[in-house]
Amino acid sequence: MIEKMEKSQGKVLGFRLIGDVSKSDYDVLVPDVQNVIDQEGSAALLLDLKEFKWEKVEAWGDDLNFGRKYHEKIDKLAIVGDKRWEELLTVFGKAYAQESKYFHTADIDEAWKWLQE
């Protein structure tokens, strides 16, 4: 499941990924991102992965299309988690945003601050 975080405002959007992400979860993410890009010209995203398990195979196409469509319009991507493999996702984050950075779960406030700079 993908859930928009209440702290989202302006061009900075935060999403909590919970359990397994499915194809239908992109129906939450994509409209919000598109709306911010339409209003602000670009977006900055925070992905909170502390409750994330994995992405279902059915969602891989939507995931790749998201990166292809929005890469140039997402300035920063903050990945928040507490596992080594989540930190390694910042390498792939470059396919989704101009800049990506990992933050440990305890440093989520720093992630929000970085996105707002």
pLDDT tens track for 13-33: 999 999 998 888 888 889 999
Q: Which of 98, 109, 111 is nearest to 72 (CA)?
A: 98
The 3-state secondary structure of 17-28, one letter per residue? EEEEECHHHHHH
Q: What is the pLDDT of residue 36?
A: 97
Q: What is the pLDDT of residues 74-92, one digit of tens each?
A: 999 999 999 887 777 787 7
CATH superfamily to which 2-116 belongs: SpoIIaa-like domains (3.40.50.10600)
pTM (2 d.p.): 0.88
**More confidently predicted of 92 and 103:** 103
Phi, psi of 57 (to 5 degrees): -55, -40
Helix (H) or strand (E) holding 15: strand 12-21
Judged by DSSP in three states, 41 sits in coil
d(CA 46, CA 49): 9
Domain boundaries, the chain: 2-116
